[in-house]
Structure 1
Amino acid sequence: MEKHRKGPRDSKIVYFPNLTAKLVNKGMSALKQKKFKESLDYFQQLIEMEPDHPQGNIGVVLSLVELGHLQEAKIKCDEILKKDIGEYYDVLQIYISILIQLADYEEVVDILEAVIQENSLPPQMAENFYQLLYFSRKMAEEDSNNDETYESMPKSISQNELERLAEQLKSEDSKQQWQAVQSIEDPNHPTIRTELKKYLTYPDANPSLKTIVLQMLKDGEANETVHIHKFGKTMDVKPSELHDIPDGQFYRLVKKIIVHELEQNNPTLMEMAVQIWDHYLFMIYPFQPEPLNEQLWAVGVLEVAHRMNGIEFDSDELQVAFSLKEASVEQVVEKILEIERISMKDIGLPDDQPNS
Structure 2
Amino acid sequence: MEDNIVFFPKLKDRIINLGKKALEEKDFIKALKLCDQLKEMNQHNSQTELAAVACLLEGNRAKEARERCEELVFGPFESDEAIEIYISILFQIKEYEELQRSIKRLLTQNRIDENQMDKFQAMLTLSKKVVSDREGGKFQTLDLHNLVENSEPINKQLELINELRATDCTLVLNQIGDILKSSKANPLIQSFILFILQEQSIEKDFEINKVNQRMTWNVTISVDEHNSFVDAILKKLSEILESENPSAFEIAKEHFRHFMTIYFPFVPMPAEVNTWAACFYYIVQQYFDHDVDEEELKDLFNVEYFPVKSAIALVKRFEDEGYFNITN
Output the TM-score relative to the length of structure 2: 0.54
- Secondary structure at the aligned position of 2:265 is classed as coil
Cα separation, 2, equivalents of 1:159 and 1:236:
34
* 1:220 equivalent in alignment to 2:201: yes
Check conservation: 1:177, 1:206, Cα contact below 8 A.
Answer: no
Higher relative contact order (CA 8 A, sep 6+): 1
* Structure 1 contact 226–238 (Cα < 8 Å) conserved: yes
- CA gap 1:321/1:304 in 2 versus in 1, 3 angstroms: closer
**Equivalent AA in structure 1 for residue 178 of structure 2:** K
* Amino acid of the structure 1 residue aligned with 2:249: M
Does residue 1:169 correspond to 2:147, yes or no?
yes
RMSD: 3.4
Is 2:183 aligned against 1:203?
Answer: yes
Among 257, 265, 275, the residue aligned to 1:278: 257
Q: Assess if the C-alpha contact under 8 Å between 1:206 and 1:346 holds in 2.
A: no
**Residues 85-138 of structure 1: per-residue CA shift (max 9 Å, x gap):** xxxxxxxxxxxxxxxxxxxxxxxxxxxxxxxxxxxxxxxxxxxxxxxxxxxxxx
Q: Is contact 1:319-1:326 (8 Å) kept?
A: yes
In structure 1, the residue matched to 2:235 is 256
Q: How does 1:74-89 map to 2 (within 5 A)?
A: none
Structure (1/2) with the larger helix percentage: 2
Q: CA deviation at 1:294?
A: 0.9
Matched, 1:335 2:292: no
Query: For the residues of structure 2 that align with 1:247 and 1:202, how far apart are their CA atoms?
Result: 21
Among 257, 262, 266, which residue is 1:287 paired with? Answer: 266
The gaps in structure 1 that reach 5 residues or longer are 1-138, 349-356
Q: CA separation of 1:316/1:206 partners in 2, compared to 1, >3 Å: closer, same or farther? A: same
* 1:242 CA displacement: 4.4
Matched to 1:195, the amino acid is Q
Which segments of 5 or more consecutive residues in structure 2 lack a partner in the other structure? 1-84, 93-97, 103-126
Kept in 2, the 8 Å contact 1:250–1:294? The answer is yes
Which amino acid is the alignment partner of residue 158 of structure 2? W
Say if 1:334 and 1:241 are closer, same or farther in 2 by CA, change over 3 A.
Answer: same
CA distance change for structure 1 residues 296 and 161 in 2, over 3 Å: closer, same or farther? Answer: same
Q: CA deviation at 1:281?
A: 0.6
Cα distance in 2 between the residues matched to 1:345 and 1:301: 14
TM-score normalised to structure 1 length: 0.50
The residue matched to 2:164 in structure 1 has which SS? Answer: coil
- Are the aligned partners of 1:199 and 1:205 in contact in 2 as well (CA < 8 Å)? yes
Structure 1's 178 and 221: CA in aligned 2 closer, same or farther, altered over 3 A? closer
| Aligned pairs for 1:4-153 within 5 A | 142=88, 145=91, 148=99, 150=101
Equivalent in 179, 183, 188 of residue 159 of structure 2: 179
Does the 8 A contact of 1:211 with 1:283 survive in 2?
Answer: yes
